């Protein structure tokens, strides 16, 4: 069965430093997508970055990058130069590929990031 594990319930980081949020996954499907979403206190889920299982390069989007290690089944999110506005809950999610029934997202339990001035 598909599963996403986020082992860090909470993290602190100093403003302007980099932080890595961990995510490991489990699936038997060779085709899948990995996503990171940010959920600030307002509640809305904001898409950050996507990594496909067949992508050769690690995904990057501005200050966000994904450290994708397929053999270890990990997809850690790296946020560079943290800002106060980065304080939020971060969710890792997985969706199986075209062979899957619905492409629904399976979410991890989230990591609450607090950026300190």
65 lies in the binding site for other proteins (CB under 8 A): no
Angle at CA of residue 76, ends 74 and 78, nearest 5°: 160
107 lies in the binding site for other proteins (CB under 8 A): yes
Let me know: does 97 contact 2? Beta carbons within 8 Å: no
9 lies in the binding site for other proteins (CB under 8 A): no
**Beta carbon nearer to other proteins, 13 or 35:** 35
**Beta carbon nearer to other proteins, 67 or 100:** 100
113 lies in the binding site for other proteins (CB under 8 A): no
């Amino acid at each position: 069965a598909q599963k996403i594990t986020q082992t860090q319930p909470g993290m602190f980081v100093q403003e302007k430093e980099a932080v890595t949020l961990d995510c490991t996954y489990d699936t038997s499907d060779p085709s899948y997508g990995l996503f990171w979403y940010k959920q600030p206190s307002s509640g809305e889920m904001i898409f950050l970055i996507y990594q496909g299982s067949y992508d050769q390069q690690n995904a990057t989007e501005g200050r966000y990058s994904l450290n994708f290690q397929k053999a270890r089944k990990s997809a850690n999110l790296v946020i560079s130069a943290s800002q106060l506005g980065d304080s939020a809950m971060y969710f890792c999610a997985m969706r199986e590929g075209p062979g899957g029934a619905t492409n629904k997202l399976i979410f991890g339990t989230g990591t609450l990031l607090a950026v300190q001035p």
